[in-house]
Amino acid sequence: MSSAQAVASVPGAEDPLGGPSARVAALEVVNLQKRFRRAGGTVVKAVDELSLRVDPGEFVVLLGPSGCGKTTLLRSVAGLEHPDAGKVSIGGQTVFDSERGINAGPEHRNFSMVFQSYALWPHMSVFNNVAYPLRNGRPRPSRSEIREQVNTALQQVGIAELADQYPNQISGGQQQRVALARAVVKGDDLVLFDEPLSNVDAKVRDQLRYELLAMQDRLGFAALYVTHDQAEALQLADRVAVLGEGSIRHLGPPGEVYSRPASPYVANFVGTANTLQGRVVTSDASEVVVETTLGQIVGPPPSAADLVDGDDVMVMWRPERTTTSSQEQATNSWPATLVRSSFMGSYIEDLYQADELSLLVWRSEGSGGVSDGDTRWLTVEPADIRVLKQD
Ligand SMILES: Nc1ncnc2c1ncn2[C@@H]1O[C@H](COP(=O)(O)OP(=O)(O)OP(=O)(O)O)[C@@H](O)[C@H]1O
Ligand SMILES: [Mg+2]
């Protein structure tokens, strides 16, 4: 990587007309591509023609299974990986452009990064770890400014009293707080996170998530945050980008990704879903009807009018969108036998069997009054049905 190359301004970033569309992105990735050649010669497309924009102050979460390219994308943004093609700009500065031969080194890119392994200096105290980016930054603040900024950052993550300790003297959760303090101390507008909470235990993780959100509210940085934990993604994100094999399969607010997933891949990866295969019988402006092993299922009108009669589709709905009754309802109602009820803490998960098909129903505790072996009618409103073309 050639760090000597200049950091260029993005053409058009200063739009004389102003307005929201002219807002400079905190991060813009355009048609980024990164391939790896594995031992043996096979080529993996780790990042495949991927484009993504993160606005100032926005929290975007990259969610996807192991090996789908999350870390490679983050490392490409950071300048730790040399992509094959595409562009990256941070705060309006082009830091990578394959066509123009621009590839700024990490030290010339304005961002901070938090890793899964806390990556603290073991021979430095907590204070000196957090002060490190300030002492090595340009311009370098005065000693008293450094002291003040480090103390503020340590207070923000609730570990001011640990300033003189060394990393091996504090817990994993505390070490990750040090890493967070170090990431925000310089006040960068973009912070990259690669699974920062996956090494801390569940309770500390929940707490750190809230603290991270509070810190982001206060400081206003934009975040690109990698996780493979869907609950974490839904909780933290302004927008979630669901990745599969190096490309974005769905980018949208958490509620949209959960309720209206773009494809079977997204539906299966985010949340729990009841799914079955089917074929479109009719599709018009008012509804879509799909033939399935449960009979005909009615769904809402397809949004993009992209379903035609005869299409092979996947029908899906969420367990909490199912109601049960002792009588058949007018639409989307099927008899099923309760196999097992599981207490899940905040809800009950009922597993039903409808012929060959297993279906999950979530209900609140105290509702229902069903016993194993009972037969009930399961009903789903057409509006809660998603009909998705096969990937
Ligand atoms: N240096 C490398 N050499 C060869 N292949 C690599 C290299 N780095 C990553 N890959 C491959 O690129 C793909 C994407 O890897 P990446 O580490 O970005 O995945 P990830 O989504 O971060 O996964 P995880 O959730 O397990 O961290 C994988 O198939 C991986 O095997
Ligand atoms: Mg990774």
CATH number of residue 228's parent domain: 3.40.50.300
User: What pLDDT is attached to residue 64?
Assistant: 93
Across the strands, what pairs with 376?
336
Q: Which ligand is nearest to the CA of 115?
A: 2
- Mean pLDDT calculated for residue range 319-326: 94
pLDDT-based confidence at 305, cuts 50/70/90? Answer: low
Residue 44 pLDDT > 90: yes
The total number of structural domains that make up the chain: 2
Atom of ligand 1 nearest to the CA of 228: 25
Residue 11 pLDDT > 90: no
Residue 9 pLDDT > 50: no
* Most confidently predicted of 139-143, 224-228, 364-368, 371-375: 224-228
Q: How far is CA 53 from CA 39, 50, 209, 248, 390, in A?
A: 33, 10, 23, 12, 27
Answer with the one of 259, 290, 308 that is the final residue of a domain.
259
How far apart are the CA of 243 and the centre of ligand 2, in A? Answer: 12
Residues with C-beta less than 6 Å from any ligand 1 atom:
36, 38, 44, 46, 64, 66-72, 228
Q: What is the pLDDT of residues 217-229, one digit of tens each?
A: 988 999 999 998 8
Specify whether the CB–CB gap between 336 and 353 falls below 8 A: yes
Looking at the chain, the whole-number percentage of residues with pLDDT higher than 70 is: 93
User: What pLDDT is attached to residue 157?
Assistant: 87
Residues 205 and 346 in one domain: no
Residues 97 and 218 in one domain: yes
Looking at the chain, the whole-number percentage of residues with pLDDT higher than 90 is: 68
Residue 10 pLDDT > 60: no
Residues 365 and 278 in one domain: yes
Residue 115 pLDDT > 70: yes
Residue of 35, 71, 84, 224 with the most ligand 1 atoms within 8 Å of its CB, for mutation: 71
User: What pLDDT is attached to residue 16?
Assistant: 46
49 domain residue, yes or no: yes
Crossing angle between the packed helical segments 126-135 and 172-184, to the nearest 10 degrees: 20
Q: Whose CA is nearest to atom 6 of ligand 1?
A: 36
Q: Whose CA is nearest to atom 27 of ligand 1?
A: 66
Task: Dihedral sign for Cα 370, 371, 376, 381, please.
Answer: positive
pLDDT-based confidence at 303, cuts 50/70/90? Answer: low
Residues 89 and 223 in one domain: yes
Specify whether the CB–CB gap between 73 and 60 falls below 8 A: no
Residue of 43, 72, 73 with the most ligand 1 atoms within 8 Å of its CB, for mutation: 72
User: What pLDDT is attached to residue 301?
Assistant: 81
174 domain residue, yes or no: no
User: Which DSSP letter does residue 227 get?
Assistant: E
Sheet with 59-63, side-by-side order of all strands: 112-114, 190-194, 222-227, 59-63, 239-244, 247-252
307 or 295, greater pLDDT: 295
Atom of ligand 1 nearest to the CA of 195: 27
Residue 207 pLDDT > 90: no
**CA gap 29, 52 in Å, rounded:** 5
Residues 20 and 63 in one domain: yes
User: What pLDDT is attached to residue 390?
Assistant: 80
Residue of 33, 42, 44 with the most ligand 1 atoms within 8 Å of its CB, for mutation: 44
Residues 99 and 208 in one domain: yes
Specify whether the CB–CB gap between 32 and 74 falls below 8 A: no
How far apart are the CA of 116 and the centre of ligand 1, in A? Answer: 15
CATH number of residue 381's parent domain: 2.40.50.140
Residue 13 pLDDT > 50: no
Residues 106 and 239 in one domain: yes
Compute the mean pLDDT over every residue in the chain, rounded to the nearest whole number: 89
265 domain residue, yes or no: no
Q: Whose CA is nearest to atom 3 of ligand 1?
A: 36
How far apart are the CA of 93 and the centre of ligand 1, in A? Answer: 27
**CA gap 46, 245 in Å, rounded:** 7
- Mean pLDDT calculated for residue range 170-197: 91
Q: Which ligand is nearest to the CA of 46?
A: 1
How far apart are the CA of 66 and the centre of ligand 2, in A? Answer: 7
User: What pLDDT is attached to residue 21?
Assistant: 53
* Most confidently predicted of 72-76, 261-265, 310-314: 72-76
Answer with the one of 259, 284, 314 that is the final residue of a domain.
259
Q: Where are the alpha helices (DSSP H) in the chain?
A: 70-78, 126-135, 143-156, 172-184, 202-219, 230-236, 254-259, 264-269
Answer with the one of 259, 282, 307 that is the final residue of a domain.
259
Atom of ligand 1 nearest to the CA of 64: 21
Q: Whose CA is nearest to atom 16 of ligand 1?
A: 69
Residues 373 and 228 in one domain: no
Residue 18 pLDDT > 60: no
173 domain residue, yes or no: no
Residues 364 and 246 in one domain: no
How far apart are the CA of 71 and the centre of ligand 2, in A? Answer: 4
159 domain residue, yes or no: no
Residue 173 pLDDT > 90: no
User: What pLDDT is attached to residue 12?
Assistant: 40
301 or 97, greater pLDDT: 97
Residue 330 pLDDT > 60: yes
Q: Whose CA is nearest to atom 12 of ligand 1?
A: 46
Residues 255 and 304 in one domain: no
131 domain residue, yes or no: no
User: Mean pLDDT lowest for which of 37-51, 193-207, 316-330?
Assistant: 193-207
pLDDT-based confidence at 366, cuts 50/70/90? Answer: confident
How far apart are the CA of 247 and the centre of ligand 2, in A? Answer: 15
Residues 334 and 304 in one domain: yes
335 or 8, greater pLDDT: 335
How far apart are the CA of 200 and the centre of ligand 2, in A? Answer: 16
User: What pLDDT is attached to residue 327?
Assistant: 95
- Mean pLDDT calculated for residue range 131-150: 90
Residue span of the structural domain in which 283 resides: 273-389
169 domain residue, yes or no: no
Residues 344 and 211 in one domain: no
102 domain residue, yes or no: yes
